[in-house]
Copies of this chain bind each other. A is one copy, B any other.
């Protein structure tokens, strides 16, 4: 729990407080990172940029975070939590039709990433650089694959989805597709699908892969 150090109500500018609290500095670093990430890749942002942006010196930065990647990781932890909650909700609530249920799932996935596109792109790129980012992503990805595979099994058990490929393999492939396609759409590098169409396209492929048709009964 954090004690509330509210002795410094923001009174506009002016250097009243000789010293900001630790929490404020940490938040300032995080905010600076998100701001800077909006227009250049993490690789082009130095620890010094982050520190100066937060009004501190480079060594002081290291008091709060062990590295540049740690900042990204911290930023991402929140998004992951958000996405997880949203996904659990989707898979928990019953859907009126299979199409509707999957549409909501893919739509949620899309919206979550879209709401943090700079972060999403930075994240995807940092995966090649940082083992920690890679590990965190794998974890999240694995959870989604499992939820997905479980849902496919359920649909097959009730006779709606066709048998065929192992549900886990199907889930891995389809989730991978979503990840890659959304990255392309958000980052804008390479051939991509328009933002307005991407959910429909993904949904169509998911449905035909599971039900053999794009409009299951």
Which A positions have Cβ atoms within 8 angstroms of B? 41, 43, 124-129, 134, 137-138, 141-142, 145, 164-166, 169-170, 172-177, 179-181, 184, 189-193, 197, 200-202, 204-205, 208-209, 212-214
Residues on the B chain within 8 Å of A170, using CB = 201, 204-205
The SS class assigned to the A binding surface is helix
A63-B5 Cα distance, complex, nearest whole Å: 59
State whether B190 touches A173 (Cβ < 8 A). Answer: no
Least CB distance from A48 to B in Å reads 20
B169 touches A201 (CB 8 A): yes
Q: List 11 A-B contacts (CB under 8 A).
A: A43-B128, A125-B129, A126-B128, A128-B128, A137-B190, A173-B193, A173-B202, A176-B177, A176-B180, A177-B181, A180-B180
A205 to B166, CA, bound (A): 12
Beta-carbon contact of B172 and A192 below 8 Å: yes
Give the residues in chain B near A184, CB-CB below 8 Å. 172, 176
In the complex, what residues of B have CB within 8 A of residue A212's CB? Answer: 208, 212-214
Nearest opposing residue in chain B for A139, CB measure: B190
| A172→B179 CA distance, assembly (Å) | 13
Using Cβ atoms and an 8 Å threshold, which residues of chain B touch A192? 172
Partner of A141, one of B164, B174, B190, B204: B190
**Most chain B beta-carbon contacts within 10 A, residue among A164, A174, A176:** A176
Q: Is the CB of B209 within 8 A of A138?
A: no
* Distance from A141 Cβ to chain B, minimum over Cβ atoms (Å): 5
Contacts A145-B191, A191-B141 given; does A173 touch B205 at CB 8 Å = yes
A193 touches B172 (CB 8 A): yes
With a 10 A CB-CB cut-off, give which of A142, A174, A175, A201 has the most chain B CB atoms: A201
Q: Which residue in B126, B134, B172, B204 is a CB contact (below 8 Å) of A164?
A: B204
Measured between beta carbons, the chain B residues less than 8 angstroms from A201 are 165-166, 169-170, 172-173
A191 to B129, CA, bound (A): 18
| Given known contacts A170-B205, A209-B205, A190 and B129 CB-to-CB distance under 8 angstroms | no
